[in-house]
Structure 1
Amino acid sequence: MDLFKIDQEIKILLKNDDELQEFDSKIYSVSDDEITILGDSGDEIIPLKVGSEVEILFTQPDAFYTLQTTIFDKIAHPTSLFVIKDVREKIQRSQRRRFFRVATRLQVAFVFIGLDNGKQKKMVASTFTKNISGGGLYCYIQNPLMVGELLPLEVFLPDEKKPIVAKGRIVRKDELKKPDVSLKAYGFNFEKINELDRAKIIKYLNRLQSRINPR
């Protein structure tokens, strides 16, 4: 299948406890009408099981594609692998406007209310994205922030002289504990953004994906 290649990045939409969740994954193997996908996305295990109904999202230079299917089998491996069958007949070229997260490292600056000598004060800090889409971004931030906060953001794209200016609403907060460090990660939705600037982000991510997954 020309649309799938080994190590190709994909997105998995999975309904878990009545919540639609999105995970990053990769193609592990490809055969005539079957693909095997990785069951983890680096930092987290994807809660898949045989019989799980999922939607696979992926991009090619010409379009976005979707694949609504059911997990057929699980394979024991150093990491879990999941088999999807009858792929060819289920692939659809997506005509809907959807935002696809891409794992890439872009500088982000943000303004927040912090404490300076016990007094509240506007502060500016910067970090880097873990992933980003036309609809928002996910990044590590050490400053304590709250879900629901609306923060001014600046996103710096390569080859753009000026940053993308937006306001992002925090919709997700994760505490990631590693052996030597504890990290805070936040998911932002772009609540206020110029549509031309959004288009710049999407165009950059499409170019990036095209380089990652050449046809």
Structure 2
Amino acid sequence: MASGGYGDPSQKIDYVFKLVLIGDSGVGKSQILSRYARNEFSMDSKATIGVEFQTRTLVMDHKSVKAQIWDTAGQERYRAVTSAYYRGAVGAMLVYDVTRRQTFDHIPRWLEELRGHADKNIVIILIGNKSDLEDQRAISMEDAKEFAEKEGLFFLETSALNAVNVETAFSTVLTEIFNIVNKKNLVAGEGQGNGDAASLAGKKINIVPGPAQVIPTKNRLCCNS
């Protein structure tokens, strides 16, 4: 359904989807973003100060979709950025480090903040990053899956270093958002993708409540650049 690629700046954009990365400092949010947006990884990455964002354009079902991904510092002293940071976001990546128990223990707090500031129907994926450090693992995949199921989140473990599941994580969220928006347009009889470039801010995304969708599977969607 989706094809990768890093976008032709001259092409018409049908949709812009804002995604936010949240989680404690040092869990690899910036590295996940760098791997997805530019297919890069830096061993000497500095802590993010304030807010940064990257974009990547994909084709999904013959529509051009620009993912605008925001990355903020995880340190407490930058928390004042919250309301503006979450405004208009239709997807969120909730990231912890599989080798640091504290970063997973803080996930409920991050989730509470996200749900307090973002649209209640935002599409959320829980991401356990640094899966390449298996010998240092502090959180089992089963514990994380159980939490994701309880909270109704998508879930994947990733390695930004080895480029494992980073593409799939973003594709999972973007595809879910795209499908919701397409269904909304069909129900409204709008048909011709009226998400013309501006943003989905202000558009109501209605997700039918149901069992959690935990996505470690390969047949959901994958687009390798």
Same fold (TM > 0.5): no
Structure with larger Rg = 1
Q: TM-score, normalized by length of structure 1? A: 0.26
Q: Which has the higher contact order (CA 8 A, sep 6+)?
A: 2
- Relative to its length, the structure with more helix (as a share) is 2
- Relative to its length, the structure with more strand (as a share) is 1
